[in-house]
Amino acid sequence: MQLEQGVWQVFRPIIGLQVLCTAAASLLSAWLAGIHGAISAALGGSIGIIAGLAFAALAARSRSGSAGEALYTALRAEAVKVVLMVVLLWIALATYRDVVAIGLVGAFIATVLIFTMAILVREK
């Protein structure tokens, strides 16, 4: 349980930044492209957030005893994150007829970059 709390303490601020970014992108897209722009940006940001949560959940469940097990867990979590992103992007683009692609893709890229950069530069 201690390990799970430690993992969530690392990911909680990252998810918060992603939510803030998604809200900002949605407001900007609403101003530029109307309601469909806002919905598209919210969808794109949500895809990045959901994928990040999946990564964090898999990392929190890990009981790595060695460096090899930790690497396996990280690679597995990353694979799940990427597959989830591709599937969710496909669903959003295939089902939402009035999608504003720049809003969806822009918010998605921003949330993924926040997740990646925050993991790489976090303080120890």
Task: Supply the range of the domain harboring residue 50.
Answer: 2-121
CA distances from 106 to 9, 57, 75, 95 (A): 27, 25, 25, 18
pLDDT, one tens digit per residue, over 15-41 is 999 999 999 999 999 999 999 999 999
pLDDT at 8 over 80: no
Number of domains in the chain: 1
Q: Which two tokens stand for residue 57?
A: 């959940």
Compute the distance between CA of residue 19 and CA of residue 40 in angstroms, rounded to an integer.
14
pLDDT at 1 over 60: no
Whole-model pTM: value is 0.87
Residue indicated by tokens 């692609």: 101
pLDDT, one tens digit per residue, over 42-66 is 999 999 999 999 998 888 887 777 8
pLDDT, one tens digit per residue, over 73-84 is 889 999 999 999
